[in-house]
Amino acid sequence: MIMLIRKILIIVCLFISVGVRAQLTGTTYAEALKSKTATWAFAYAETPNFSSKQADGSLQGIAVEVMKKFAEYVQRTEGIKVIYEFKGKDPNDFKGFLQEVKVSKGGVFGLGNITITDARKKEYEFSPAFIKNISILCTNKDVPTLESLAKAATAFANFKGIAVAGSTNEKAVLNLKAKYIPSAVIQRVENNQEAVSTIAKDKSSFTNLDFTFYLDAIRQGIPIKRHQVGDESSEEFGIIMPKSNDWSPVMAKFLNAEFLKSQEYKKILFANLGTNGIKLLDSFENKK
């Protein structure tokens, strides 16, 4: 009996130690000021054009490039040499990604299409917004174009609302149900890719996509449709950090300076979004 208890305790300790080792950590700004070196850990949510793994294993996207430029800025202005590593566990598990960043320590950054919200600000540090989002109401391509949101209750009667659990997408889909499509049954999925796949196959479903997932689906020829009456641009994306990350004031200086107005940043946007993505963003800017 005693031997059995000892074995159980050993197994429990092993699980605990694995959990501790798996926690992401990075050099704090205070530490880097002294050593003039820093190691950052990047977790990421798989997001087309923002933080997406390529066929060659590299990670590309707007958020990735912003962080690379931030590292260069830190080297130039602070004399701190930065090494960064991509260490996220499961980029396709959005809720897991958020939790992973939340419990990490020091110089850890979460990349993707992370919407800045008041609720999240209570649990995370955020960079200033580096881009606005456009949320898009989408269905299968064969669904007749919605003329107005006021007609959605009839046009989308008994449709399923596909919601990414724990995300602002879920909030948006629930809001559409509450305001315009009361008969909708909510079906939760783990990520935006699954939401796109579901509406492409099911002609009686809808979702609310960040513009980057919509652009990626169109680029791939996935049969979905944008209903422009549902377009909205009230959200902004930022880099997310644990509360123990003290790099956020330095990042604020970087993003609030001239970088977001620079040709360098415009080149990053064009390289990742292409002409169609830039036109979509510009169309909302011109509405102001």
- One-character DSSP codes across the chain: -HHHHHHHHHHHHHHHHHHHHHS-EE--HHHHHHHSEEEEEEEE--BTTTBEE-TTS-EESHHHHHHHHHHHHHHHHH--EEEEEE--S-TT-HHHHHHHHHT-EESEEEESS-B--HHHHTTSEEPPP-EEEEEEEEEETTSPPPS-GGGHHHHTTTPEEEEETTSHHHHHHHHHHHHT-TTPEEEEESSHHHHHHHHHH-TTEEEEEEHHHHHHHHHTT--EEEEEEEEEEEEEE--EE-TT---HHHHHHHHHTTGGGSHHHHHHHHHHHHHHHHHHHHHHHTT-
| Structural domain containing residue 148 | 134-234
Please count the structural domains in the chain. Answer: 2
Domain-ending residue, one of 191, 214, 234: 234
| Residue 256 pLDDT | 87
Same domain, 117 and 155: no
| Residue 11 pLDDT | 47
Same domain, 64 and 150: no
| Residue 267 pLDDT | 96
Residue 5 lies in a domain: no
Residue 3 lies in a domain: no
Same domain, 271 and 154: no
Same domain, 125 and 105: yes
| Residue 286 pLDDT | 62
CATH number (domain holding residue 179) = 3.40.190.10
Residue 7 lies in a domain: no
| Residue 14 pLDDT | 41
Residue 8 lies in a domain: no
Residue 16 lies in a domain: no
Same domain, 202 and 248: no
pLDDT tens, residue order, the chain (288 aa): 555 445 455 444 444 433 443 689 999 999 999 999 999 999 999 999 999 999 898 999 999 999 999 999 999 999 999 999 998 789 999 999 999 999 999 999 999 999 999 999 999 999 999 999 999 999 999 999 999 999 999 999 999 999 999 899 999 999 999 999 999 999 999 999 999 999 999 999 999 999 999 999 999 999 999 999 999 988 999 999 999 999 999 999 999 878 999 999 999 999 999 999 999 988 877 665
Q: What is the pTM of this model?
A: 0.84
| Residue 22 pLDDT | 67
